[in-house]
Amino acid sequence: MNADTPALQSESAILATNKVLKNTYLLLSATLIFSAITAATSMYLQLPYFGMLITLGGYFGLLFLTTKFRNSSLGLVFIFALTGFMGLTLGPILNFYLSAYANGGELIMTALGGTGIIFLGLSGYALTTRKDFSFMGGFLMVGILVAFLAGIASIFLAMPALSLAVSAMFILLMSGLILYQTSEIIHGGETNYILATISLYISIYNLFLSLLQILGIFGGND
């Protein structure tokens, strides 16, 4: 065997990882911008809240299609459809904060800034330290499922304390998911940039909403 083979394989793996990273962050930036545009459009048109069934149905349906076609150009079409749809659902929520709180704009900008700081900080930490966070996978899956069910329960039970706890849980879980997904890309556990983008986008989206809800509870001026 050629003595240079392991080195060539290592170099090839590094190049492949860098390509996935580059494509993921480029696509993530594009989907975030597109989502912001659809959210602004939704706000401008004063669209009503979509309701739980439409929101969940649209989200899981487009998520399924994006995952199914992740290895084709249709995957790009569906990921923009998914993130655009999520932007549309975000518009009515932002309009609510702007109308319900005197400092609604400040709350939104603070949540946005906090989301950016957390994402950049955690991604930077995972990229620079190159630590393996794959051990968090099982915990995150169970935690997200529990938090999701608790979130639905808080809506029907109208329990502010439970809603606050769910938001705090989502902040921790989404922070963990950012570390986990970035680590997966670095160490070759995730080689599909469309799937990686979905995971990071969902983390950012939920992180922003959870921060906004907590800020509204503790820092909102009616």
The one-letter amino acid at 100: A
Tokens describing residue 3:
């003595």
Distance of CA 162 to the CA centre of its chain: 22
Which pLDDT score is estimated for 8? 47
| Percent of all residues in the chain with a pLDDT value above 90, rounded to a whole number | 61
pLDDT recorded at residue 144? 87
Instruction: Summarize the chain as % helix, strand, coil (round to 5).
Output: 85, 0, 15
The pLDDT of residue 5 is above 70? no
* Contact assessment for residue 85 and residue 59, using Cβ atoms and an 8 Å cutoff: yes
H or E stretch at 27: helix 5-44
Higher pLDDT, 47 or 1: 47
- Domain boundaries of the chain, sorted by first residue: 5-219
Q: What is the pLDDT of residues 84-98, one digit of tens each?
A: 999 999 999 999 999
Residue 117: pLDDT above 70? yes
Tell me the average pLDDT of the chain. 89
pLDDT at position 1 is 47
CA distances in angstroms from 189 to 13, 115, 206, listed in the order given: 12, 25, 23
* 35-70 per-position pLDDT tens digit: 999 999 999 999 999 888 899 999 999 999 999 999
pLDDT digits (tens, 9 = 90+) for 14-25: 777 888 899 999
Q: Mind spelling out the 3-state secondary structure of 41-77?
A: HHHHCCCCCCCHHHHHHHHHHHHHHHHHCCCCHHHHH
Residue 142 has pLDDT above 60, yes or no: yes
CB 24 within 8 A of CB 196: yes
pLDDT of residue 150: 85
Give pLDDT, residue 4: 52
The residue count for the chain = 222
Do the beta carbons of residue 183 and residue 133 sit within 8 Å? Answer: yes
pLDDT digits (tens, 9 = 90+) for 162-201: 888 888 999 999 999 999 999 998 888 888 999 999 999 9
C-alpha torsion sign, points 80, 20, 210, 112? negative
- Token pair listed for 7: 């080195």
**What number of other Cβ atoms are within 10 A of residue 124's Cβ?**
11
Compute CA distances 158 → 72, 130, 138, whole Å: 43, 42, 30
